[in-house]
Homo-oligomer: A and B are copies of this chain.
Amino acid sequence: MSYKIGIDISGGDKSPAEIIKGVLAAHKELDEKIVLLGVKDEIEKELAKHKCSKNEFEIVHAPEKIEMAEAPVTSIRRKKKSSIVIGTRLLRDKKIDAFVSCGNTGAVTCAATLILGLIDGVDRPGIGLAVPTAKGGLSLIIDVGANIDCKPINFLQYGIMASAYCELVLHIDNPKIGLLNIGEEASKGLGVIKNVHKILSASSLNFTGNAEAKDIFSGKCDAIVCDGFTGNIALKAAEAGAETVGKLLMKAMKKGLGGKLALLLAKKNLLEFKKSFDYAEHGGAPLLGVDGIIIIGHGRSNWLAVKNAIRVAVEELSRDLNSEIKRRIHEIGQDSRVREVLTT
């Protein structure tokens, strides 16, 4: 069976060129139908550059563009003809099976929540991001920015959605779920976090207790739950730490003749390393909890990231992720132990 994946050609810092390149790469690899949403002329011009006929893809004209820095709610209210709003509507109307955008994260989240609505029983959506770990696998961190003001129930639901995602999409058995905190002891952290610790402990999740920021990369847990404010900052801080060290290290290394020679000798290894640690290799971030499959790509996504985001969307569809999330959210709602902790 082949799916219809809608992709936002107007979103992302490298739009439309890299987005179209990613679409063409996905088109070669996958059997799915890809629907292109954006400014028709721009899309056709870009396709022509690749000597690709405009008839090879379904194009949906979306004349308006939501810029990366625009305020989410206002932009989706004012720009009904933007690729983000039209794409989300097509998804709601089942004209497409999934929607992929590297555009304004807030606008995509907002459009999805308002137009698609949430999965039965889910209170807030969350953006999950799969991060490469030192052990070689991937670890999901959720939420990285959809919901900055989290209540304990939101953390529990993130845990459930993350667990389902890890099992179905990342193929991890009985995934270990951690709670982002400033120390490992249950007594650490803000009041709300201590409360969440109790709720997660009472749940049927494979909850392994508090995780520290270093565990985002350690592979100690398969998923780490947190509020969107903390998650977003942790992620950007980790990215910044990694980038700063990487850059300064390269700069320091090439000092002197010996250093320059060393860099030359290590070039192949360094390129391979860059690939293994590149977010682009691991696809986009699933927007979990909304009633439809939406993948949000990094604003800086290149063609490879776009291709992989499309691949992740297909994976979620083929495993019917949202039905499983719905089932598990319903189940936890019936769990008397969890209900008891939630009400005390």
Residue numbers of A with Cβ under 8 A of B are: 69, 71, 134, 145, 148-149, 180, 182, 185, 187, 189-191, 212-218, 228-230, 232-249, 252-256, 258-259, 261-266, 268-270, 272-273, 276-277
Least Cβ–Cβ distance between A252 and chain B, in angstroms: 4
Q: In the assembled complex, how far is the CB of residue A26 from the closest CB belonging to chain B, in whole angstroms?
A: 28
Q: Point out the residues of chain B lying under 8 angstroms from A266, CB to CB.
A: 253, 258-259, 262-263, 266
Number of copies: 2
Q: Report the minimal beta-carbon distance from A186 to chain B, rounded to whole angstroms.
A: 11
**What are the 3 closest A-B residue pairs judged by CB atoms, nearest first?**
A241-B241, A238-B241, A252-B273
> A239–B216 Cα gap in the complex (Å)?
11
Residues of B within 8 Å of A191, CB to CB, are: 149
Q: Contact check: which of B69, B235, B261, B265 meets A237 at CB < 8 Å?
A: B235
**A235 nearest in chain B by CB position:** B237
Are A248 and B273 in touch, CB under 8 angstroms?
yes
Whether the pair B242, A244 counts as a contact (CB closer than 8 A) is yes
> When the two chains form their complex, are residues A246 and B245 in contact, meaning their CB atoms are under 8 A apart?
yes
Chain B residues near A249 (CB-CB < 8 A): 246, 249, 270, 273
Contact B258 A270 (CB under 8 A): no
A243: chain B residues within 8 A (beta carbon)? 214, 241
Please, which residues of chain B bring their CB within 8 A of the CB of A214?
236-237, 239-240, 243
Complex alpha-carbon distance, A261 and B214, angstroms? 31
Q: Is the CB of B236 within 8 A of A233?
A: no
A238 contacts across to B, CB distance below 8 A: 237-238, 240-241
Q: In the complex, A2→B246 CA distance in Å?
A: 42
Q: Which residues from B are CB-within-8-Å of A218?
A: 240
Interface pair B182/A148, CB less than 8 Å apart: yes
- 18 new A-B contacts, CB < 8 A, other than A214-B236, A249-B249, A252-B269, are A134-B244, A182-B228, A190-B229, A214-B239, A217-B241, A229-B230, A235-B237, A238-B240, A242-B244, A245-B246, A248-B273, A252-B273, A252-B276, A254-B269, A258-B269, A262-B263, A262-B266, A262-B269
Task: Say whether, besides A244-B217, A245-B277, A277-B248, A253 and B237 are in contact (CB < 8 Å).
Answer: no
Known: A244-B134, A246-B245. Contact between A259 and B269, CB under 8 A? yes
| A189-B148 contact, Cβ under 8 Å, with A263-B266, A265-B261 | yes
* Chain B contacts for A235, CB-based, 8 A: 213, 237
Q: Is B262 touching A236 in the complex (CB atoms < 8 A)?
A: no
A315 to B253, CA, bound (A): 33
Contact partners of A237 in chain B: CB under 8 A: 213-214, 216, 233-235, 237-238, 241
Contacts A148-B189, A182-B233 given; indicate if A270 touches B253 (C-beta within 8 A). yes
Determine whether the beta carbon of A252 is less than 8 Å from that of B236.
Answer: no
Closest to A215 in B: B240
Min CB distance A68 to B, Å, is 10
A249 CA to B271 CA in the complex, in Å? 10
